[in-house]
Structure 1
Amino acid sequence: MAQPVIRLWPMLRVPAGMLAVLLYAGSLSAADTYVLEEPSTDTRVRLVQTEVNTQGKVKVSVGGGRSASHELDAAAAFRFLERRLPPGGRDAEALRAIRQFEQGTMQTTVAENSSGTQLPAANSLVVSSGRREGVLNYCPEAALTRDSLDLLELPGDTLALVALLPPGPVEVGGSWAVADWAAQMLATIEAVESAEMKCTLASVSGNVAKIDVAGEVVGQRLGANSTVKVTGQLTYDLQQKFIARGSLEYKIESGIGTITPGIDATVNANIERSLSPSAGRLTDAVAEAIPLEPPAGALELVFAAAPWGMSLRHDREWYVFQALLHGSNKVLILRRMERGSLIAQCNCSPVPTVKPGQQTPADQFEADIQRSLGERFGEIRARERVPTDDGRMITRVIVGGSVELKGDKGAVDIPMMWIYYLVTDPNGRQMSFVFSVEPDLHEQLGDRDVAMVKSVRFVQPQ
């Protein structure tokens, strides 16, 4: 530390001996350092309130290599209690929490078309665990829908904010490089090409420490090239020893993907945290009952087609691409993505009811298949009945054929498999499924098609 410059006015002379003592003391002084941390052993319950606002554009493919842009405006609000859980591993996996949501809503407008999402009361208890690619959420009491899972992907998630804190004591003006996994977790990028993020202890005033955040993560999300730039500031309460608030701005640029539109948007997240006077449901008993790893089936998602009187379950690699539940062309389309690559597509639709105990005749079902495929139809490779133990009848027909793809250099035939299912309940209600997959990817699809089909449950239409 440099020696202080001491200027003495004539009326404020200091004896030489005293000046020597002052200078010696000054040479031993050092800048104050601060420990900014939130250990997992701190199980105090915090109240978290988050507001997120998004403005920008979405880009969709309109064919012929062309795209169209539409205005995007979204607002989300969350209020929940949060309590830390013991670590489940190292780095991101060390960050775990259980949350009790009191509010989780989002309103989105794209091209003047508005839609809303709200976290159901049945999913108010959520277990959150850090992962490099973001925060993994599940509800231990009821399966989440894809909409609810997406809603819970909070910009500025508090677990990701904790990962930004310095690894050791830091003085005002001191900076530290954020670990690659922490930057990736904050940006929710699945496959990272580059990650650079830095934090700086900008100031300390009383019990308030201000931390500046800035960085950029480049990579792929759901197979689409993405760049996320993050800037903002965290406020750390030195007395209570936790992050009390955060204000982050995300600049997101993402290309058009197989299951997602392109995004060019600015997301602003404001987070407020305080100690909760009540633990709510987050008691010691509830926290201790949460296992380190999600139980079997806890990560499955549910899709409920209420107008059809049908629900099904699927794993998280299936994404809802389109859902037309009303009108004459009813269809649910899901696409399976693994490590950024499209593996298969599933089309599901209701079909006419038959008499109780019966099913559409096999020859009629196969004729319908051939008619729907047209020139793509090659041959029927297998037909069989899938066993069940609840009175439902499930018929499977596997068809081989090809799809013609046209490009600038001409057309090419791509071999294709279509796996058809007809599901009929004892009352005669029916659903049809068709899974489209290239033969080389059939093994990778495995038995996930039949698992989804077997999960179908018929309920009273609403």
Structure 2
Amino acid sequence: MKAPIHINVSFAFLAFTLFSIVVSGANAADARNTYAFHNQRTPGSVDQVAVLLEVGGETAFLQKGKPQRENLGIVCNLEYLEKTLSDADDASGKLRGIRKYQKAAAAVKVGDERFEPSLQPRHSLVVVEANEQEALLYSPSGSLSREELDAIDVHFNTLLLDRLLPAGPVVVGQSWPPEKKLLALLLGLDEVAESTVEAKLTEVTKIVARFELNGRVEGKVHGAATDIDLKGRYRFDLRTKRIDWVGMLIKENRKTSEIADGLEVVSRLQITIKPAEEMNELTDAAVAKLDLTPSDAMLLSYTSPGGDFRCRYDRRWFVDNASGVLRLMDAGILVGQCNPAVLPKCEPDRLVSLEDFQEDVRKALGDNFGEFVAARQSVNAGGLRVLRVVAEGAVPSGTDKVDIRWIYYHLAHRDGRQAALTFTIEQEHLDRFADADATIVASLEFVE
């Protein structure tokens, strides 16, 4: 709800001549002049960034099998310092930065409901990492929630903007197509199938070069088809040799997916960027003390609807906020589902045994039950007793049946608090699912 080519405006060379022409004045827009743009983003540089995103339109969904629509409005304000840590020319091939968010809040209205997702102060430091395939945001201070991530992961990631510059010399009025992979990263898409988007150099003055970005993108996000029309501009400062402003009008028509409602919206995005002084939390010494490895920090945090327990999960899981159900998407395919439940507290000496839990599973599955695959008892990282029962069977689907694997968990605190998790996976997706349940169960803890 993303590795850049680093580019510095150099002298423009007039084709087929033996002398160079310095970019200058109104006459610089003469089409006979060619211009090469190379930005001066280097490790250690710090930018002050302000982002304003306004979204208006409708969300589409099914209710009792009937299509429904509700008005949708979003206003998101972000302000942050972004320090470049490495560029794509280093050994890793990744572009990496770290941000200090000074403001990160959104106001969302869907129908009559309102909510305001924001970034917790303890997560104000966020690492941004990008390569050719993906752009990731995570906090070295702990796992973000899905709501926090959605609040800061907006279109046109500032770490990637330099890649909108032309790869070689161009003349005023010349256009070129941005790579599909770049468009997917900038727009938060899983893939771009078709694109008519072109960037164009429209003007060069003594202090800035101006560009346009227009066209249509057809792609997918979380398995849903989406069409996006782009109409925007961006500006390159010839003094700082950096893109310093972006303004985009983004019209999107997204189909409903297995995990999200459809959208028919228009977004207005404005980004301003200017050089900034380094603050204490972003000095080399301060950054060196942080663990910037993405492993555990890439996990997201989940709290049950009633606030009774929390856990962490990998980013392929998406939460239905209304029901608390988690659904696992992998490469646009719905792989599995997790139904969490809080159970009534009981006396510790009356907790269900593994054998009785197995029998409960058999009864719950009824005619769908086929056989038990595994059953065991263990203790998770937080000291909770864990019962795990794996069963296989089949459920009716039209005139046929679908083979299913169920993984049932019962987790209990020593004081008698209990929770249950039921994972449902179509057997054809078992390889994709792998051990996607393991992190959730290992990290689950009751909230004191």
Which category describes the TM-score, using the shorter chain as reference length? 0.7 to 0.9
Partner of 1:285: 285
Find the aligned partners of 2:429 and 2:109 in 1 and give their Cα distance: 37
Per mean C-alpha deviation after superposition, the further-off stretch among 374-383 and 118-127 is 374-383
Give 5+ residue unaligned stretches, structure 2: 1-13, 15-29
Find the aligned partners of 1:338 and 1:404 in 2 and give their Cα distance: 24
Equivalent in 421, 432, 440 of residue 428 of structure 2? 440
Larger RCO, structure (CA 8 Å, separation 6 or more): 2
Cα offset, 1:76, TM superposition: 0.5
Equivalent in 336, 341, 348 of residue 349 of structure 1? 341
SS in structure 1 at match of 2:240: coil
Contact preservation (8 Å) 1:357, 1:427 = no
1:393 lines up with 2:393 in the alignment: no
Partner of 1:99: 99
Amino acid at match of 1:444: R
Amino acid at match of 1:304: T
Partner of 1:428: 416
Cα distance 1:383–1:164, how it changes in 2: closer, same or farther (>3 A)? same
Contact preservation (8 Å) 1:210, 1:235 = yes
Partner of 2:311: 312
Cα offset, 1:379, TM superposition: 4.2
Partner of 1:451: 439
Contact preservation (8 Å) 2:381, 2:442 = no
Partner of 1:243: 243
SS in structure 1 at match of 2:173: coil
Cα offset, 1:281, TM superposition: 1.9
Find the aligned partners of 2:346 and 2:214 in 1 and give their Cα distance: 61
Contact preservation (8 Å) 2:37, 2:169 = yes
Cα distance 1:179–1:386, how it changes in 2: closer, same or farther (>3 A)? same
Deviations 1:415-434 (A, max 9, x none): 22211000012222111000
Partner of 1:55: 56
Aligned residues: 420
Contact preservation (8 Å) 1:131, 1:185 = no
Find the aligned partners of 1:167 and 1:30 in 2 and give their Cα distance: 18
Partner of 1:417: 405
Cα distance 1:413–1:89, how it changes in 2: closer, same or farther (>3 A)? farther
Contact preservation (8 Å) 1:227, 1:253 = yes
Find the aligned partners of 2:413 and 2:197 in 1 and give their Cα distance: 55
Cα distance 1:60–1:349, how it changes in 2: closer, same or farther (>3 A)? same
Deviations 1:166-220 (A, max 9, x none): 1233332233332232222222221221234221111123312211111332221
SS in structure 1 at match of 2:320: strand
Find the aligned partners of 2:320 and 2:229 in 1 and give their Cα distance: 27
Contact preservation (8 Å) 1:134, 1:189 = no
Cα offset, 1:256, TM superposition: 0.9
Contact preservation (8 Å) 1:125, 1:141 = yes
Cα offset, 1:41, TM superposition: 1.7
Contact preservation (8 Å) 2:181, 2:192 = no
Cα offset, 1:381, TM superposition: 4.0
Find the aligned partners of 1:394 and 1:58 in 2 and give their Cα distance: 40
Partner of 1:257: 257
Find the aligned partners of 1:241 and 1:289 in 2 and give their Cα distance: 31
Find the aligned partners of 1:100 and 1:158 in 2 and give their Cα distance: 14
Find the aligned partners of 1:432 and 1:275 in 2 and give their Cα distance: 51
Find the aligned partners of 1:166 and 1:222 in 2 and give their Cα distance: 30
Cα distance 1:297–1:89, how it changes in 2: closer, same or farther (>3 A)? farther
SS in structure 1 at match of 2:103: strand
Amino acid at match of 1:198: E
Find the aligned partners of 2:134 and 2:439 in 1 and give their Cα distance: 27
Cα distance 1:285–1:176, how it changes in 2: closer, same or farther (>3 A)? farther
Cα offset, 1:127, TM superposition: 1.0
Cα distance 1:389–1:280, how it changes in 2: closer, same or farther (>3 A)? closer
Amino acid at match of 1:301: L
Partner of 2:299: 300
Cα distance 1:129–1:368, how it changes in 2: closer, same or farther (>3 A)? same
Cα offset, 1:95, TM superposition: 3.3
Deviations 1:257-305 (A, max 9, x none): 11011111111101111222443422123455678x8343121111123
Cα distance 1:388–1:181, how it changes in 2: closer, same or farther (>3 A)? closer
Partner of 2:21: none
TM-score (norm 1): 0.83
Contact preservation (8 Å) 1:230, 1:250 = yes
Deviations 1:137-184 (A, max 9, x none): 111121111111222211222123221011233332233332232222
Amino acid at match of 2:135: V
Give 5+ residue unaligned stretches, structure 1: 2-28, 325-331
Amino acid at match of 1:76: C
